[in-house]
């Protein structure tokens, strides 16, 4: 059933497959009388775009947003903001071999068992390309929460075994390197690792950390629509995400209360923002598609050997950074608006 | 705004504060013509109940479910199944000192900043007591998914630094010890650790792992209502939960694709169940309330020293096991029903 | 699937069958820090209650609300307000004959074809008794919108062919007679008609009109969640309601624009309140159960003759008045809160 | 807040303003593996299109649907079906005079009081043009319910005082005349009336009746998401709709139960379809915009005289016929799918 919407008050519905005519979204519930900076939206999209980062795939996606509705004379109307991004570089031929074969570690087989049919070209709807719509909508949400002084900054905190030890106060440097890491020296090592992995026909996982400042206390709706629970859903919904933790997360499991009580709690208590800095991590698995022959099954149920064609990312975390930020902005925008409803 | 419901097709709305008249829930969307075993529901509640486990608080909660609607002559009617559990052991006097003071590491202050008012008795709505309603509803959901052969088994896989190395095939032993760990020897050590931590006036965190068998392929609605994303939301919504991971989770971030592709993927690919065993972990922080004097602030903004009164859990994970199972059953019940809608 | 909730921001979920243990509801999203007058809620329930009106059934229902959650020291907490009303006068024996027979003009057969099972006692969940939960929640919503100066007054404007010609400015007189009509002389004639119909073993339909004053302009969310559309859904959802119209409604269909533009438009334009008096009508059919033998079918498919037992209303509109008011209050409360979200 | 979606399982979200770049929609929850006839969708749109009916406005709207997603090799994928219709004939200059003036009987002023801003060109989002997206999505829903043998046929049953007395068995003739009335002789008189009203610079209201055949018993979710309640919301949400009635509707209010029980009940009992023919009526007001000078107010609050420019419909009911059908198909499609969830 319908499952392509996220948010209650500020609700994004996305559409589109990687090799269909277009991807896009409808952002409903965006308040009227704002004057969004649409160039800034395009800039955020460019950060996610393949081809904009030498550590990613060499696949080029222009990703120009076309605005369809909801804006008039530069202002939001209170009506749904619809937009689309054409799918330009559709080398569908690259994917012909996949019509009868399920890629290992991908949704191909599960998708076909669910729906009975499948768009085999580049993963169709399960492609990470469809997150571009989230980035565009998230950029609008960022401008909304920015009015309240909220900033959202994600960065790569680990690639493989290379992990950031201490978080720098200034995160802006993450945009100056392709690894999207705020520590320049570590970023260089991460880039080397990713290139080495690519050269080996392999892939590698990583972690994206997100830090949110300026968040007022009181956001989150107990007991189910907690702020951290909604963030968890949004993050685990990103392609290849396999883990989510608030504050110290899994490390907290090993601590005593007397220790943990002295630590920052990740900015959320009882599901409600506490006015402090909010921090969470998202773990991403290594991309399943690698330049090595792998065993898999085809539609007939036979075991076959598959060699990936096309152009693929050896590591998704650098490109996941703007997606994590976008999803966080959408969740926060929704909850900032919901917070208007908490008292008489 | 309204945020106390979870699920789309099978939807649970819960209500109640820990020291109000009652807690309870309304489970809407449960299909008609089932004959639920209500004694089995009560048994599941008894597993969550404080006082039923020597490793927990000595607070006694009888937790008898009273069924209000939705059942007639032993069968479900297709109408909302409402139930309540009276709050019996309400030593509110224990909490008088908390009217003006915010407990450290609790939602007290964030709650008051959100709503302007707060029920200071035992955390009110933010108390873990309210999860009893989830356990009751989850037990009904378990019977629904059990019809399709799905089983849900959670257990304690870590307490502090004591971690289960290998998962036994037979998990049933977890109910034979108070640590809720399927490895009896480790369970003994966990129990010792928890008692030592209690004796030291401290608390300790841990991890609950959940294994789901018999799940058909095809569950989950891309792109936002993915199965893993909905599980993440449900789990992070449990009191004290700070982390969620599918399959290898955070460990996957350090792996190469050539390694990870050989591992089980946690039962979900692209947000859709793949027909294999589903596995996830939930990290819980150590309880914030410990039997030591702690600095905190009061409503006037002054720093004060608080010594906890009342009876508290030194470790929540044993009692979290039935809650994790219940939330998983609710998510799976919802998605099993949603799956009926995927094809013409 | 789940269908027992109404409202988005202020959301009521109801439960209960007429002859089960209890009926009740959970009102989620009610803002914190209000101090509701619970005696006033009970007064509204007493107006709906059978036995409180000599024109209705002689069935006695005490309808005492028991509050379960959401309130502490007289104030709302921002948590779900749950309440129940026990079903006391359950002469189930009256209904034994209906186990195998479908009453004509009732939901019995449709219900059984939907769910496969049916509570044959007094209509079960399809009984008008379950609207008592709406009246209780609606009374709370009335107090919320009353803070903004909004008043909601419904009254009987027609019984059979007896119709009110002009609406008096003062509607308070409707509570001084059993016909719930603000024109005392007409109320007497309506009462006579209803008694004559009852004496003849028959029933009669009628119309309830609702007038809302003090409503600010701007309520309603185009294009689907319009204020009038949400009112229509709420009203047609009341038992026995068969028609809904705004302003001049069906009469407008026969007018020229040059005439109609000079008329008040019912308080809504393009689905949004225009700041004027809002007016709508709801048509109710005559109750299907009458004290005459009627042909119907049984579960075996045979045509049988049914003579109604039990105590029944010859006309529902007097008792529908508080229900119409309650549903209107719920819709307006929801939209008044939603309106906080319309602008940056 | 977000209010531009309708349906739970089959959910349509629409977007667009009459004079923006495009209107369109996203239909989520449409089951996979169907092979929709897209030419048939276009045909339905052509019936709603202005310029396609000599009784309507002479404004030409080409209304070509462009499909963006959800379809692959002629089949539905289970993914959102997004589509758009470009706004071609945008004589925005026609509307310059309306920047500072509120049209009487339109949403202009209410809209501006809600959102603070307004697109003054042709009503913006409140224009009936945006219903084209509903017609496109409704045409897809029609094909879905058609698989189950359900047919939906609406027609004009009244224009001003000209009303159809008896409903012909064969309704197909409604498409052979511009009045969309299945009685050819009456259609001629309706057409004459509409032309006379246009010549007089006036407008006229009317009624659309809808008949649904082949509907299985059991559709509708008590107590709030009843089938008739959802139809009421969908119909009153259509531009200029002012009344909705099931079966005999307002006429039933004047009947005795002994009479009414002998009548068909409109196909719904207790909110659930009963397996019989379903019938409802929708009343439409005369269009507010007429070719006569009318008094209104401007943004400064002054009373001014407005003479309508542009091209307008003297009567909306002929063009409302496909819209009523589309909205009914969407509601029925949603409920047919929901019905799969009613039993274990």
Question: pLDDT tens, C146-203?
Answer: 999 999 999 999 999 999 999 999 999 999 999 999 999 999 999 999 999 999 999 9
What is the interface size between A and B, counted as CB pairs within 8 Å? 348
Q: What is the pLDDT, as a whole number, of residue C319?
A: 95
The pLDDT, as a whole number, for residue D63 is 86
Whole-number pLDDT of residue C52: 65
* Residue C277 token pair: 């008096």
Count Cα atoms within 13 angstroms, Cβ side, for B306: 25
Q: What is the DSSP string of C247-298?
A: TTGGGGGGSBHHHHTTS--TTEETTEE-SS-EEEEEEEPPPS--SS-EEEEB
Q: What is the pLDDT of residue A91?
A: 63
Q: What is the pLDDT of residue A51?
A: 65
Span of A278-292, B48-62, B217-231 with lowest mean pLDDT: B48-62
CA distance A272 to A285: 29
Q: Could you tell me the two tokens for C84?
A: 């129940």
Find, among A242, A2, A18, A3, the residue nearest to A118 by Cα.
Answer: A18
Residues of chain B contacting residue A283, judged by C-beta atoms under 8 Å apart: 245, 249-250, 252-253
Q: Which chains touch B (3 or more CB pairs under 8 A)?
A: A, C, D
Q: Do B84 and C72 touch (CB under 8 A)?
A: no
Band (D53; pLDDT cuts 50, 70, 90): confident
Q: Which residues of A9-36 are buried (b: 16+ CB within 10 A; e: fewer)?
A: bbbbbbbbbbbbbbbbbbbbbbbbebeb
Closest CA to D204 of D58, D322, D316: D316
Residue D337, chain B, CB below 8 Å: the answer is yes
- Backbone dihedral region for residue A329 (phi beyond 0: left; psi -120 to 50: alpha; all else: beta): alpha
Residue B112 DSSP code: H
Q: Do C15 and B68 make contact, defined as CB atoms within 8 angstroms?
A: yes
Quote the CA–CA distance of B27 and B138 in Å, as a whole number.
9
Kindly report, residue by residue over B223-247, the tens digit of the pLDDT: 999 999 999 999 999 999 999 999 9
Please tell me the distance in Å from B313's CA to the nearest CA on chain A. Answer: 11
Which chain B residues are closer than 8 Å to C5 by Cβ? 5, 11, 13, 28
Using the predicted structure, report yes or no on whether residue B250 has a pLDDT greater than 90.
yes
Comparing CB atoms, the residue among B207, B222, B281 nearest residue A125 is: B222
Query: In the numeric block, which tokens belong to residue A225?
Result: 């629509």
Residue D34: closest C-alpha in chain A: A117
Residues in Cβ contact with D39 at an 8 Å cutoff, skipping those fewer than 6 apart:
none
User: B33 vs chain C: nearest CA distance in angstroms?
Assistant: 6
Q: Please give the torsion angle defined by the CA atoms of residues A124, A128, A129 and A131, in that order, rounded to the nearest 10 degrees.
A: 120
Smallest Cα distance from A73 to chain B, Å = 32
Residues B8-51: pLDDT tens digits?
999 999 999 999 999 999 999 999 999 999 999 999 999 887 76
Each residue of C34-46: b (16+ CB within 10 Å) or e?
A: bebebeebeebbb
Q: CA–CA separation, D335 vs C75, rounded Å?
A: 40
Helix (H, G, I), strand (E, B) or coil at B226: coil
Question: How many helices (H) and strands (E) are present in chain C, helices listed first?
Answer: 7, 16
pLDDT 10s digits, C36-79 = 999 999 999 998 877 667 777 666 667 899 999 999 999 999 99
pLDDT at position C18 is 93
Which chain A residue lies closest to C344 (C-alpha atoms)?
Answer: A31
Q: For chain C, which residues score pLDDT lower than 50?
A: none
Average pLDDT over chain B, rounded to whole? 93
Give the containing element (helix H, strand E) for A91.
Answer: none
Residues of D in contact with B337 (CB under 8 A): 341
Q: Quick check: B284 and B316 in contact, CB under 8 A?
A: yes
C-beta atoms of B341 and D147 within 8 A: no
**What integer pLDDT is reported at residue A292 of this predicted model?**
87
Contacts of C144 in chain A (CB under 8 A): 344
Nearest to D22 among A69, A71, A76 (CB): A69
pTM for this structure? Answer: 0.97
Please tell me the distance from the alpha carbon of residue B148 to that of residue B60, in angstroms, as a whole number.
36
DSSP states along B19-38? TSSEEEEEEE-PPBT----H
Helix (H) / strand (E) element for A336: namely: helix A317-338
Q: How far is C158 from chain D (nearest CA, A)?
A: 8
pLDDT reported for residue D32: 98
Q: Is C55 on the interface with D (CB under 8 A)?
A: no
Widest CA span of chain A, in angstroms?
64
Q: How is residue D56 annotated by DSSP?
A: S
The length of chain A is 344
DSSP H/E element including A168: none
D291 and chain B in contact, CB less than 8 A: no
- Looking at beta carbons, which residues of chain C come within 8 Å of D232? 229, 232-233, 235-236, 244
Q: Is the peptide bond before C223 cis (omega within 30 degrees of 0)?
A: yes
Q: How many angstroms separate the CA atoms of D271 and C136, rounded? A: 22
Tell me the C-alpha distance between B253 and B265, whole Å.
13
DSSP state of C101: B
More confident residue, A52 or D113: D113
Q: Please check whether residue A334 is in contact with residue A10, taking contact to mean a CB–CB distance below 8 angstroms.
A: yes
DSSP state of C5: E
Q: Which of B16, B110, B120, B157 to mutate to test the interface with A (most CBs of A within 10 A)?
A: B110
pLDDT tens-digit readout, B73-121? 999 999 999 999 999 866 666 778 788 899 888 999 999 999 999 988 8
C78, A147: Cβ pair inside 8 Å? no
* pLDDT bracket for residue B156 (50, 70, 90): very high
User: Is residue B160 helix, strand or coil?
Assistant: coil
3-state helix, strand, coil in chain A (%, to 5): 35, 25, 45
Q: Render pLDDT for B265-275 as a digit per residue (tens, 0 to 9).
A: 889 999 999 99
Q: Which of D33, D78, D342 sits opposite B32 (nearest CB)?
A: D342
- DSSP 8-state secondary structure symbol assigned to residue A20: S
In terms of Cα–Cα distance, which of B208, B331, B330, B226 is closest to B281? B208
Q: Do A1 and D119 lie within an 8 Å CB cutoff?
A: no
The size of the B-D interface in CB pairs under 8 A is: 44
The 3-state secondary structure of A286-299 reads: CCCCCCCCEEEEEC
D33/A115 CB distance under 8 A: yes
d(CA C333, CA C339) in angstroms, rounded, equals: 10
Query: In terms of CA atoms, which chain A residue is nearest residue D12?
Result: A2
Residues 58-117 of chain A with CB under 8 A from chain B are 104-107, 109-111, 113-116
Contact D23 A78 (CB under 8 A): no
pLDDT at D310: 64
Largest CA-CA distance found in chain D, in angstroms, rounded:
63
CA B340 to chain centre: 27
Query: What's the mean pLDDT in D256-281?
Result: 93
CA distance C301 to C299: 5
B119 interaction partners in chain C (CB closer than 8 Å) = 72, 77
Residue among B22, A225, A344, A217 nearest C30 (CA): A344
Distance from CA of B270 to the nearest CA of D (A): 14
B120 Cβ neighbours under 8 A, 6+ residues apart: B95, B98, B99, B108
User: Is D310 within 8 Å of chain C by CB?
Assistant: no
Give yes or no for residue A18 having a pLDDT over 90: yes
A253 touches chain B (CB under 8 A): yes
CA–CA dist B16, B134 (Å, integer): 12
As a whole number of angstroms, the distance between CA D181 and CA D172 comes to: 9
- Tokens for B66? 């009273």
B/e letters for C260-286, b = 16+ CB within 10 Å, e = fewer, are: bbeeebbbbbbbbbbbbebbbbbbbbb
Cβ contact C4–B26 (<8 Å): yes
Tell whether omega for the bond before D177 is within 30 degrees of 0, i.e. cis. Answer: no
Distance CA B13, CA A341 (A): 19
DSSP summary character for residue D218: T
A340 touches chain C (CB under 8 A): yes
- Phi/psi of residue B239, nearest 5 degrees: -55, 135
Which chain B residues in 19-38 lie under 8 Å from chain D, judged by CB atoms? 29, 31-34
Which chain C positions have a beta carbon within 8 Å of A343's beta carbon?
31-33, 78
Backbone angles phi, psi at D172, to 5 degrees: -65, -25
> Which strand (E) or helix (H) includes residue A110?
helix A108-115
The Cα-based distances of A88 to A59, A60, A92, C248 in angstroms read 11, 9, 11, 53
ipTM: 0.97
CB C45 within 8 A of CB C51: no
Which whole-number Å values give the CA distances from A247 to A227, A252, C256, in the listed order? 13, 8, 66
What is the predicted pLDDT for the residue at D91? Answer: 64
Report the distance separating Cα C112 and Cα C105, nearest Å. 14
Asked if residues B258 and A292 have their Cβ atoms less than 8 Å apart, the reply is yes
Diameter of chain C by CA atoms?
64
Q: Are C341 and A343 a contacting pair at CB < 8 A?
A: no
The whole-number pLDDT of residue C92 equals 64
Judging contacts by C-beta atoms under 8 Å, the chain C residues touching residue A146 are: none
**C250, C306, C334, best to mutate vs chain D, most D CBs in 10 Å:** C250
Q: Pick the residue of C80, C335, C339, C341 with the most A CBs within 10 A to test the interface with A by mutation.
A: C341
State the DSSP code for B180: -
B229: which chain A residues are within 8 Å (Cβ-Cβ)?
Answer: 232-234, 236-237
Distance CA A98, CA A91 (A): 13
């Amino acid at each position: 059933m319908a499952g392509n919407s996220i948010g209650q008050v500020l609700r994004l519905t996305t559409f589109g497959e990687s090799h269909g005519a277009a991807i896009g979204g409808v952002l409903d519930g965006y308040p009227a009388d704002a004057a969004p900076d649409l160039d800034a939206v395009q800039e955020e999209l460019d950060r996610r775009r393949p081809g904009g980062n030498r550590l990613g795939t060499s696949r080029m996606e222009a990703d120009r947003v076309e605005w369809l509705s909801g804006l008039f004379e530069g202002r939001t109307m209170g009506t749904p903001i619809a937009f689309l991004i054409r799918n330009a570089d559709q080398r569908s031929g690259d994917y012909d071999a996949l019509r009868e074969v399920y890629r290992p570690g991908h949704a191909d087989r599960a998708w076909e068992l669910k729906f009975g049919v499948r768009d085999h070209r580049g993963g169709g709807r399960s492609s990470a390309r469809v997150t571009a719509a989230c980035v565009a909508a998230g950029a609008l949400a960022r401008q909304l929460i920015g009015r309240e002084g909220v900033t959202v900054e994600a960065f790569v905190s680990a690639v493989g075994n290379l992990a950031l030890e201490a978080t720098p106060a200034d995160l802006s440097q993450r945009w100056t390197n392709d690894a999207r890491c705020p520590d320049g020296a570590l970023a260089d090592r991460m880039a080397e690792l990713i290139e080495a992995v690519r050269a080996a026909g392999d892939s590698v996982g990583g972690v994206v950390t997100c830090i949110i400042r300026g968040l007022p206390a009181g956001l989150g709706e107990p007991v189910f629509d907690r702020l951290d629970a909604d963030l968890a859903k949004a993050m685990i919904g990103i392609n290849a995400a396999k883990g989510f933790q608030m504050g110290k997360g899994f490390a907290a499991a090993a601590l005593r209360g007397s220790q943990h009580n002295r630590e920052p709690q990740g900015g959320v208590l009882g599901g409600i923002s506490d006015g402090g800095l909010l921090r969470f991590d998202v773990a991403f698995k290594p991309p399943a598609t690698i330049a090595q022959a792998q065993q898999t099954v085809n539609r007939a149920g036979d075991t076959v050997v598959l060699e990936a064609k096309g152009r693929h990312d050896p590591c998704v975390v650098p490109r996941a950074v703007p997606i994590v930020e976008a999803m966080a902005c959408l969740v926060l925008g929704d909850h900032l608006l919901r917070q208007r409803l908490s008292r008489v």
